[in-house]
Amino acid sequence: MSEILPLIRKEYLISLANEGKREDGRALDEYRSLDIRANVVDKAEGSALVSLGGTMVFAGVKVDAGEPYPDTPDDGVMITGAELIPMAAPDFEAGPPGEEAVEVARVVDRGIRESKALDTKALCVRENELVRLVFVDLHVMDYDGNLIDACGVAAMTALATSQMPVLDENDKPTEEKLPLPVRDLAVPCTFVKLGNSLLVDPSLDEERALDSRITVATDQEHHVCAMQKSNIGGFSLDEIKHAVRIATVKGEEIRAAIREAIK
The reply to whether 79 falls in a domain is: yes
40-92 pLDDT, tens per residue? Answer: 998 899 999 999 999 999 999 999 999 999 999 999 999 999 988 666 666 76
Tell me if 123 sits within 8 A of 159, measured CB to CB.
no
CB atoms within 10 A of CB 7: 9
Cβ within 8 Å of residue 169, ≥6 positions away? none
Would you say residue 228 has pLDDT above 90?
yes
Give the integer Cα–Cα distance in Å for 48 and 171.
Answer: 28
Q: How many domains does the chain have?
A: 1
Residue 146 has pLDDT above 50, yes or no: yes
| CATH number of the domain bearing residue 13 | 3.30.230.70
From CA 91, how far away is CA 160, in angstroms rounded? 32
Instruction: Judge whether 2 lies within some domain.
Output: no
Q: Is residue 101 part of a domain?
A: yes
3-state secondary structure of 88: helix
* pTM (predicted TM-score): 0.92
